[in-house]
């Protein structure tokens, strides 16, 4: 009997269950799909352990965030379920009047919860399974790979996590329903529709003052955010901006309804038309009673939009142009020696051989080895594994970077002008005190020859700027246009020609910044006075030997291991990765980056950031939209007597529907507009500090975020309007 009654209730309350059911279905589908990413690797021909790790890392992060997502969805489902309880109070009152016990009513609600939960769980898993298959093709596009052997992939782990998470949520909902029904009194249930909600009436002048103050607080928050640059999250300015944004938004929603009513009521020509007074009062009532939830929704929307937009922008930062950033098969780098290998600021009176003497004293074995091979990395490596070297390496070139004594970047920019110094300070304030980083013309041309670029020509008194980083592009162009001179060991060299675009080593991004190319004799003069390279990179191109990129990478590791085995002693050898089979030394090899490794990591990073942005953004977006939808349906239900009265005094259904539509659009757009303003400020700061500096456009991520919000948020608003309209229409 109870089972039959529960089934009848569900069939008769389909309209009420629409938002609730859609939210459950979306939650289950997204939860399963994003937790099944790790199972997709079986579709790809993963050649190395590095490829496998990209999927494993993504799966780990998805699992970590899934617990947060489960809590958000649990709260959302519980909140949505509260609307159903409120909607059916009169029905429960009728049951009690007919003699049904609270225990039986609780059982009916439990059966309904189980029915809806099971159906939504099953359908959600089906949709999630199909979505996970589509995500496999999306994953392939992120990696730039093809699925050669497509197959339906089912993830038992994702299924288990999804079922456990949502069963727990449904149990909590069932317990909540039981307590809610048991606490109900017959008189409250029977007259639930007749109770008028108390609406706080706020003084319009107080609202006006608070509104103005809120605008000022938000303006201060934006100003602090812009000044902080969002570079360090523990920056006091960033913290102040965050706190003021939260407080200002709260004050805005608290004061908005009273302020707007005060303005509109004085605009008689607008206010006293049709159902405008009714519509305005309905909106004001909703905002006044739900300003706290509107504040929370606005913050969640801001977080969702910002995470999605910045996430997609970061994908472009880390992955766009990855092939151009890795023109060589591999780059082997040697940090040589420095008290701090990242420190380029040196005493301008320092002798050219000071670093050589310091290395000879602190790392004599590495120094003697470098001198013995004249710092030729390829010669040292080939000597220890000649056959494997010849089988693996077709061509190679070495670039040696030197600090030019007695000359700093500040010396150059002083000749260019204050604007150039200001731009340099924006990039790196200490760079103006750094010694010039120079390479020889022959090293540059050897690197260009490996990638098929034409050689650069220089006269004896000329130098040229090499730069391909967008962040330093403006400074480099100013130097090239101003044609300043530099002192290269007593010889004056003048900048000539255009800025040279050459990637001098494999990297995650284009990473050649304000490097100066000088004639070979200038470097020879430095060496003759005992100077050693500050850093060297050996770029290699693999031979056409029938091996894959992964196999050649492994062979390169074997070559290095033959020269510096893992258990080899030496100075500063602790930077080797856990999986490396060779010791990381100052010389000849400190680190290796291969094109395959960088492109694989780029694909993995792209997958991780994209899916996290989609996952978090989607869940927060449907959460905010569902909360607003439930509030609107609840408010519509509470206002049914008012709509009946409008109908009785002669208002057409079309006028009522138009009023209802305006209420919904304003209520949905109000937190969205404020959230968009907050997001525009945050994204603008990130664009100026990071995206513009790296030459990455945020137009595409913003367009994607707009489409993302439009489809999901707009879809919920449409479903809410159609459901509310049917509720009002059926209540005549």
In whole angstroms, give the CA distance from residue 352 to residue 161: 63
Q: What pLDDT is stored for residue 84 in this prediction?
A: 65
Q: What pLDDT is stored for residue 342 in this prediction?
A: 38
Q: pLDDT tens digit string along 665-681?
A: 888 988 999 999 999 88
Instruction: Choose among 333, 301, 32, 19: nearest CA to 166.
Output: 32
Q: What pLDDT is stored for residue 401 in this prediction?
A: 93
Instruction: Choose among 392, 439, 441: nearest CA to 540.
Output: 392
Q: What pLDDT is stored for residue 188 in this prediction?
A: 55
In whole angstroms, give the CA distance from residue 464 to residue 139: 42
In whole angstroms, give the CA distance from residue 722 to residue 615: 28
CA angle 652, 657, 662 (to 5 degrees): 130
Q: What pLDDT is stored for residue 134 in this prediction?
A: 77
Instruction: Choose among 341, 346, 518: nearest CA to 430.
Output: 346
Determine the longest span between alpha carbons in the chain, in angstroms.
Answer: 106
Q: What pLDDT is stored for residue 344 in this prediction?
A: 45
Alpha carbon of 525 to those of 59, 159, 404, 477: distances in Å? Answer: 55, 68, 11, 28
Question: How many other CB atoms sit within 10 Å of the CB of residue 656?
Answer: 20
In whole angstroms, give the CA distance from residue 84 to residue 24: 14
Instruction: Choose among 456, 436, 463: nearest CA to 519.
Output: 463
Q: Is the Cα dihedral 240, 291, 301, 126 positive or negative?
A: positive
Q: Which residues contact 340 (CB under 8 A, 6 or more apart)?
A: none
Q: What pLDDT is stored for residue 371 in this prediction?
A: 92
Residue 145 CB burial class (10 angstroms; 0-12, 13-18, ≥19) = middle
Residue 166 near residue 32 (C-beta atoms within 8 A):
no
Q: Which residues contact 603 (CB under 8 A, 6 or more apart)?
A: 54, 142, 143, 144, 145, 319
Q: pLDDT tens digit string along 332-374?
A: 999 887 654 434 444 455 678 888 888 888 888 888 999 999 9
For the chain, what are the domain ranges? 1-195, 196-331+596-732, 336-589
Q: What pLDDT is stored for residue 108 in this prediction?
A: 72
Residue 511 near residue 503 (C-beta atoms within 8 A):
yes
Q: What pLDDT is stored for residue 573 in this prediction?
A: 45
CA 340 to chain centre: 32
Residue 388 CB burial class (10 angstroms; 0-12, 13-18, ≥19) = middle
Paired tokens of 508: 């995650």
Which residues face 175 on adjacent strands?
Answer: none
Low-confidence stretches of the chain (pLDDT beneath 50): 196-197, 199, 340-347, 571, 573-574
In whole angstroms, give the CA distance from residue 225 to residue 236: 10
Q: What pLDDT is stored for residue 341 in this prediction?
A: 40
Alpha carbon of 301 to those of 98, 477, 671: distances in Å? Answer: 46, 41, 8
Q: Which residues contact 405 (CB under 8 A, 6 or more apart)?
A: 346, 348, 350, 351, 352, 435, 489, 531
In whole angstroms, give the CA distance from residue 252 to residue 678: 13
Paired tokens of 659: 């009023």
Which residues face 488 on adjacent strands?
Answer: 491
DSSP run (H or E) holding 115: helix 102-143
Q: What pLDDT is stored for residue 146 in this prediction?
A: 58
């Amino acid at each position: 009997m109870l089972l039959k009654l529960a089934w009848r209730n569900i069939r008769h309350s389909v309209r009420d269950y629409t938002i609730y059911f859609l939210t459950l279905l979306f939650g289950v589908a997204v939860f399963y799909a994003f937790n099944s990413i790790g199972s997709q690797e079986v579709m790809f021909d993963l050649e190395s352990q590095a490829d496998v790790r990209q999927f494993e890392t993504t799966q780990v992060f998805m699992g970590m965030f899934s617990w947060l997502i489960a809590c958000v969805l649990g709260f959302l489902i519980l909140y949505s379920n509260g609307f159903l309880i409120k909607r059916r109070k009169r029905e429960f009152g009728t049951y009690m009047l007919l003699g049904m016990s609270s225990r039986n009513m609780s059982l009916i609600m439990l059966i309904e919860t189980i029915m809806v939960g099971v159906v939504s769980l099953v359908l959600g898993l089906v949709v999630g399974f199909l979505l996970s298959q589509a995500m496999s093709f999306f994953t392939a596009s992120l990696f730039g790979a093809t699925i050669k052997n497509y197959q339906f992939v089912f993830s038992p782990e994702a299924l288990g996590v999804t079922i456990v998470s949502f069963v727990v949520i449904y149990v909590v909902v069932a317990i909540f329903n039981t307590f809610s029904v048991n606490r109900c009194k017959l008189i409250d249930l029977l007259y639930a529709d007749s109770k008028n909600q108390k609406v706080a009436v706020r003084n319009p002048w107080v609202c006006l003052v608070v509104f103005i103050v809120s605008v000022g607080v938000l303006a201060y928050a934006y100003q602090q955010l812009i000044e902080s640059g969002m570079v360090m999250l523990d920056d006091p300015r960033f913290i102040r901006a965050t706190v003021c944004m939260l407080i200002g938004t709260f004050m805005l929603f608290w004061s908005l309804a009273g302020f707007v009513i005060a303005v509109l009521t004085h605009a008689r020509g607008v206010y006293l038309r049709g159902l405008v007074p009714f519509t305005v009062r309905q909106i004001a009532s909703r905002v006044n009673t739900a300003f706290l939830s509107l504040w929370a929704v606005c913050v969640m929307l801001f977080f969702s939009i910002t995470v999605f937009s910045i996430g997609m922008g970061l994908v472009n930062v880390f992955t766009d142009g990855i092939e151009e950033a890795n023109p060589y098969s591999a780059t082997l780098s040697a940090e040589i020696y420095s008290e701090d290998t990242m420190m380029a600021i040196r005493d301008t009176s320092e002798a050219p051989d000071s670093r050589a003497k310091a290395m000879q004293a602190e790392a004599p074995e590495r120094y003697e080895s470098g001198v013995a091979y004249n710092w030729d990395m390829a010669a040292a490596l080939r000597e220890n594994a000649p056959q494997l070297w010849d089988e693996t390496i077709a061509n190679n070139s070495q670039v040696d970077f030197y600090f030019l004594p007695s000359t700093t970047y500040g010396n150059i920019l002083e000749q260019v002008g204050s604007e150039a110094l200001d731009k340099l300070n924006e990039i790196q304030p200490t760079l103006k005190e750094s010694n010039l980083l120079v390479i020889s013309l022959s090293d540059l041309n050897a690197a260009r020859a490996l990638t098929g670029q034409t050689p650069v020509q220089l006269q004896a008194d000329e130098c040229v700027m090499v730069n391909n980083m967008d962040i330093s592009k403006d400074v480099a162009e100013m130097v090239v246009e101003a044609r300043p001179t530099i002192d290269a060991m007593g010889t004056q060299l003048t900048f000539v020609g255009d800025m040279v675009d050459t990637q001098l080593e494999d990297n995650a991004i284009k990473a050649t910044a304000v490097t100066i190319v000088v004639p070979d004799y200038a470097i020879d003069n430095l060496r003759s006075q005992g100077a050693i390279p500050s850093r060297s990179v050996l770029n290699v191109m693999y031979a056409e030997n029938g091996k894959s990129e992964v196999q050649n990478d492994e062979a390169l590791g074997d070559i290095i291991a033959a020269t510096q085995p893992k258990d080899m002693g030496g100075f500063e050898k602790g930077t080797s990765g856990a999986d490396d089979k060779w010791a990381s030394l100052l010389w000849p090899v400190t680190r290796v980056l291969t094109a395959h490794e960088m492109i694989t990591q780029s694909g993995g990073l792209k997958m991780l950031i994209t899916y996290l942005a989609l996952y978090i953004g989607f869940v927060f977006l449907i959460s905010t939209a569902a909360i607003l939808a439930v509030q609107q349906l609840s408010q519509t239900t509470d206002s049914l007597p008012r709509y009946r009265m409008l109908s009785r005094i002669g208002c057409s259904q079309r006028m009522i529907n138009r009023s209802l539509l305006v209420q919904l659009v304003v209520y949905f757009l109000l937190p969205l507009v404020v959230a968009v303003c907050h997001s525009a400020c945050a994204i603008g700061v990130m664009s100026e500090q990071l995206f513009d500096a790296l030459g990455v456009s945020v137009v595409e991520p913003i367009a994607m975020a707009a489409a993302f919000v439009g489809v999901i948020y707009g879809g919920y608003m449409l479903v809410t309007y159609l459901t509310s309209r049917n509720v009002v229409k059926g209540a005549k």
